[in-house]
Amino acid sequence: MAKAMKRLAKRTVNVGAISKLKPSACAAMMDSPLGILTLYGNGHALTAIRISEAPLLNKVANKTELNAGAHDAILNKAKQQLEKYFKGKLTSFDVPLEVKGTPFQKKVWNALSKIPYGKTASYKDVAVMVGNPKACRAVGTANGKNPLCVLVPCHRVISHDGSIGGYTGGLSKKRYLLSLEAERDAAR
């Protein structure tokens, strides 16, 4: 099973038939310290990153075809940058991004992108950044629906009291990302 997942992680697949993405969408899988990441793109931009589970990989492998189209350039760039990030050699990303969400969600995700590498902000801080200081819970909800984990750094948002808060990918993954960035930031 592990060998099969590693082989799948190197493939680019057309996921139009099994996802809500447009039929021209592509996905690529990669190994990471968080688990297997599935990166989705539309040929012009990265549209989502998901932390994949083995059953999803089996579903993708059985129902899709390899696609070696133009989408590879965006997905390969994202994969290369993520690999450097996880090695502590990259602190910001320049992959084109395209997300779907409500205007409020997009404001929150834009604010998340402004939280510096190695730093954190509270849900309240983000609410202030988006111009609605009382919207802490709404910020938390938007944060949890961030489709581009790591690149749009929702892991940098913590509770106002300094506790870690939540993370859609799981608290151990959030702790890992915060620790990775803190170590790299301290070394600079």
Amino acid, res. 126: V
Query: In whole angstroms, what is the distance from residue 91 CA to residue 113 CA?
Result: 12
The H or E element spanning position 123 is: helix 123-129
Within 8 A by CB and 6+ apart from 78, the residues are 28, 39, 41, 46, 49, 93, 95, 151
Q: How many CB atoms lie within 10 A of CB 9?
A: 18
The answer to whether 151 and 93 have CB atoms below 8 angstroms apart is yes
Specify whether 136 is catalytic: no
* Tokens (6 digits) for 44: 């012009």
Query: In whole angstroms, what is the distance from residue 27 CA to residue 3 CA?
Result: 19
Catalytically annotated residue among 26, 136, 149, 154: 154
Q: How many CB atoms lie within 10 A of CB 1?
A: 8
Q: Which residues are catalytic?
A: 154
